[in-house]
Amino acid sequence: MLEWAQNFMAAIPPVLLMTVYMFIFVLVLFGCVAYVTLAERKVIGFMQVRIGPNRVGPRGFGQPIADALKLMFKEMILPNDADRFLFRLAPLLSMIPALAAWAVIPFADGWNFADINAGLLYLLAMTSLGIYGVIIAGWASNSKYALLGALRSAAQIVSYEIAMGFALVGVLMASGSLNLGDIVEAQEGNVFTWNWLILFPLFITYLIAGVAETNRAPFDVVEGESEIVAGFHVEYSGMGFALFFLAEYANIILISALTALLFLGGWLSPFPESWSSVPYLGVLLGHGPHMFIAKTCFFIFCFLWFRATFPRYRYDQIMRLGWKVLLPITLIWIFVEGVLLYFELPPWWFD
C-alpha cells in the first residue's frame, strides 16, 4: 500500500505536485485567517471581561463561516464616479502580496516552496507592495475619507518600512545570509543564541514596525473610525470589504511568522537536544514545524493583545516614533553590531 502510494506520488510531475501543495497551503492559510478573526474577538472579549461571539456553532466556532457567507452574499456597491476597474482591483492587490510572501517561508529545514538566496529581500519587496491596494482603493473610491485614509497609510507604511528594513539589515549581518533557512540555522544553539537577545533593540523595533505596517492598533489611524469613518475601505461592501479584512489578518500572520523566523529561531526548539530522545513526547520537544507555528501563534496573540491594551496614537506621534525613535535605534544598533562583528567580540564568536 505504502509502496503504491510512493509510486503514485513519483508519477505526478513536480510542477503539478507543487501547484497542488500551493493550493492546499492557500486554503489552509485562508482557514487560519478566518479563525484569527474569531480569535481576535474572543481574546479581546476575555480581556474586556466579555464572552465574545458564542451564538454560531459550539462556543461560537462557526462565526467566521457565518461572517464569510454573509459578506459573500452582500452586494458590492460602486460609488458614483468611482474608477470601476481600479475599485475592483484594489482588494486583490492588497491580498496577493500577503499570500505571495509565503513562498519563501521555511516551516522546517527545507520545508518551503522556493529556497531562494535573496529570500529576505523578496519578503521586503512583497510586504512593500501591499500598500498599493490601500492607495488605489482610497483613490478609486472617489471619496474624501477614503483618500485621506490612503494618504495616511502611504506616509505611515513608507516611514516604518525604513526602520523595518534596517532591523532586517541587522538580522542579515548577524547570520551572514539573505536565505531564510540559513538565517534560522545561524541561530542554532539554545534560547540565548537566538537573535532576539543579541539583536534585542532591532527585535522590538521590528515588532513595533510590523504592527504599524499592518495598520493595526495602536497605529490604526489609517482607518481611525473616530476621524475618517473607516479610512480607505469606507466605500467597500461585500466581498471587497471582506478581502481587505482578510488581507489585514493575512499580513498579521505573515509578520508574526517573520518575527518568529528572524528573531526567535523559527523551527528550532528551545529545549536541550537530549530532550528530543524522550520516547513519544520527544517529537514534540525537538525541532520541527510545530515550534515555528507555536512561536507564530504567540506573536499573533501579541497583536491582539496590543489592540486590547493601547489607545490609538495621534498621527504626528506615529511619525515621530518612526523617524526620530525607531530609526536612530536601528542605526545605532547596526553600528554596534558592526563593531562587534569586526573585532569578533562575543556574542559573535565565529570559527
Quick one: which of 36, 131, 164, 254 contacts another protein (CB under 8 A)?
131
Chain positions 298 to 317 lying near another protein, rule: CB under 8 A, are 316
The footprint of another protein on this chain (CB under 8 A) covers a number of residues equal to 26
Q: How far is the CB of 151 from another protein (least distance, A)?
A: 7
18 binds another protein (CB under 8 A): no
Stretch that binds another protein, among 125-133, 224-232, 240-248, 293-301 (CB under 8 A): 125-133
Instruction: Output 122 or 145, the one with its CB closest to another protein.
Output: 122
Per-residue x/- track, 216-235, another protein (CB under 8 A): --------------------
Chain positions 172 to 191 lying near another protein, rule: CB under 8 A, are 178
Quick one: which of 135, 163, 180, 253 contacts another protein (CB under 8 A)?
135
Measured N-to-C along each axis, helices 327-342 and 144-175 cross at an angle, to the nearest 10 degrees, of 10
Q: How far is the CB of 27 from another protein (least distance, A)?
A: 26
- C-alpha distances in Å from residue 296, one per residue of 87, 102, 129, 230, 263: 33, 13, 22, 28, 11
Chain positions 48 to 87 lying near another protein, rule: CB under 8 A, are 86
Instruction: Output 139 or 267, the one with its CB closest to another protein.
Output: 139
Tell the residue number behind the cell numbers 514534540, with chain if given.
284
Per-residue x/- track, 136-175, another protein (CB under 8 A): x--x-------x--xx--xx-xx--x--------------
Contact positions vs another protein (CB under 8 A): 86, 116-118, 121-122, 124-125, 128-129, 131-132, 135-136, 139, 147, 150-151, 154-155, 157-158, 161, 178, 316, 320
